[in-house]
């Protein structure tokens, strides 16, 4: 069970107002709020052991090393990965770029194929476009069902002997369906290809076990799971990380080099972490993960599932709302108010203190698939309540009068 009274204490922002209404934050797929405990961990680093990591010759530098290392360990445990398979990055986008340039560009040839879907976020599309152009290889789209789902059968039908990489989200950011990564990974490996998983919308919301899924790469961002911005993770199977080329070079990633240009790189994960790292970010993300662990990922998932069910059942009672992903498992609700342009509706929600996002959600291809130029997305997290949903539903009812936002 989630203790809301405790959450109000843990997240001071939940007590805030916006436009003179209680703040109702339903844009968690974009970013999440941060509990004080995360900010305290960051502050502690800066106030008490502010030193650079690697080869510290004094106590506080040693402590920074230990804490940075511990952070990696906490994240590894959270994913059931090995510590040396966790590479710190700036976030999901950087992780996927590192995989595209460090793995795909080195290993693929002109007659190879990369499979993605029309539901992917730009960060899981554009890096592949870029490297495919350089390699001269092909990008193909795995067909989705009429509902917009990705099924193992559809993956299988799209695979062939040229397929080398399958890059898909575990939960897509617009439609919010769960994708059966475990079954798909088996199929992908039968074809001797690798599976690159975008975990940006899954890792924050339910238990993700990389060994159980048997995925080759997994990327996610800290800020969507109560951590700070600018920190994320690229998980990769150790053997693959060893084969990969680092995107960035610099201090902290080489063992030695000489003036003739011979460089010996450190082993993963250090070989990917050139330059002074986002130390506060790593420490903050680890604090966030410990906080999520305390609540329990299963509790978080259960809470969101129940809340979504409630929201959908209430939304379905309204005849001015179009829902695009009624059967989705995640806390993402994509909808429109009939005859109201998405952005106009979102402004109306703002005037009621409700944060939702209008737009194409960076999944421009999908909008062609849905047949609408714009939608509104409400996305839940564990600190959302029935009260939030009630406020949201009440605003939905009146959203036809969206110009009220302009005149009241």
The residues of the shown chain that bind another protein, judged by CB under 8 A, are 341-344, 347, 350-351, 358-360, 373-374, 402-403, 405-407
Closest contact distance (angstroms) between CB of 45 and another protein is 32
Please say if 226 is a catalytic residue.
no
Q: Distance (Å, rounded) from C-alpha 241 to C-alpha 316? A: 47
- What distance in Å separates the CA atoms of residue 41 and residue 231, rounded to the nearest whole number? 15
Q: How far is the CB of 79 from another protein (least distance, A)?
A: 33
CA distances in angstroms from 142 to 169, 191, 280, listed in the order given: 12, 15, 39
| 3-class SS string, 99-114 | HHHHHHHHHCCCCCEE
d(CA 391, CA 399): 12
Give the position of tokens 């008490």.
48
Q: Smallest distance, Å, CB 400 to another protein? A: 12
Query: In 3D, which of 127, 121, 175 has the Cα closest to residue 150?
Result: 175
Question: What span, in angstroms and rounded, lies between the C-alpha atoms of 158 and 235?
Answer: 25
How many residues comprise the chain?
A: 408
Nearer Cβ to another protein (68/392): 392
Task: Return d(Cα 204, Cα 6) in angstroms, integer.
Answer: 20
The token pair that represents 188 in the structure block: 């992908």
Q: Tell the smallest beta-carbon distance from residue 404 to another protein (Å).
A: 9
What's the distance, CA 88 to chain centroid?
A: 14
Give CA angle at 12 (10, 14), nearest 5°.
100
Catalytic one among 215, 355, 362, 396? 362
Residues 6+ away with beta carbon under 8 Å from 4: 383, 385
For residues 31 and 204, is the Cβ–Cβ distance under 8 A? no
- 338-342: list long-range contacts, CB under 8 Å, 24+ apart: 338/400, 339/400, 340/399, 340/400, 340/402, 341/374, 342/374, 342/375, 342/376
Active-site residues, by number, are 362
């Amino acid at each position: 069970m989630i203790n809301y009274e405790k959450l109000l204490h843990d997240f001071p922002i939940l007590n805030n107002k916006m436009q003179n209404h209680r703040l109702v934050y339903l844009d968690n797929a974009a970013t999440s709020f941060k509990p004080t405990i995360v900010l305290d961990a960051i502050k502690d680093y800066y106030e008490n052991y502010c030193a650079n990591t690697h080869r510290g010759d004094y106590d506080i530098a040693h402590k920074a090393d230990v804490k940075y290392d511990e952070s990696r360990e906490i994240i590894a445990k959270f994913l059931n990965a090995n510590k040396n398979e966790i590479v710190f990055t700036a976030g999901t986008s950087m992780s996927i770029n590192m995989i595209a340039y460090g793995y795909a560009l080195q290993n693929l040839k002109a007659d190879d194929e990369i499979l993605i879907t029309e539901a992917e976020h730009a960060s899981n599309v554009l890096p592949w476009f870029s490297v495919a152009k350089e390699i001269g290889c092909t990008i193909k789209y795995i067909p989705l069902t009429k509902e917009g789902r990705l099924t193992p059968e559809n993956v299988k039908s799209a695979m062939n002997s040229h397929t080398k990489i399958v890059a898909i989200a575990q939960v897509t950011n617009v439609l919010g369906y769960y994708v059966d990564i475990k079954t798909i990974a088996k199929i992908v490996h039968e074809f001797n290809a690798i599976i690159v998983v975008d975990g940006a919308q899954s890792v924050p919301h339910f238990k993700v076990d990389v060994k159980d899924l048997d995925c080759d790469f997994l990327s996610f961002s800290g800020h969507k799971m109560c951590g700070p911005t600018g920190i994320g993770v690229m998980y990769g199977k150790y053997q693959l990380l060893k084969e990969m080329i680092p995107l960035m070079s610099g201090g902290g990633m080489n063992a030695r080099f000489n003036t003739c240009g011979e460089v010996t790189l450190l082993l993963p994960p250090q070989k990917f972490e050139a330059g002074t790292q986002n130390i506060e970010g790593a420490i903050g993300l680890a604090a966030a993960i410990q906080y999520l662990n305390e609540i329990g990922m299963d509790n978080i998932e259960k809470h969101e599932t129940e809340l979504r069910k409630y929201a959908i059942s209430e939304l379905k009672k309204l005849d001015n709302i179009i829902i695009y992903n009624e059967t989705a498992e995640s806390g993402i609700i994509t909808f429109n108010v009939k005859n109201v342009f998405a952005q106009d509706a979102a402004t109306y929600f703002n005037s009621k203190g409700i944060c939702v996002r209008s737009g194409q959600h960076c999944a421009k291809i999908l909008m062609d698939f849905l047949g609408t130029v714009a939608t509104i997305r409400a996305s839940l997290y564990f600190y959302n309540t029935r009260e939030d949903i009630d406020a949201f539903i009440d605003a939905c009812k009146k959203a036809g009068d969206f110009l009220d936002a302009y005149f009241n």
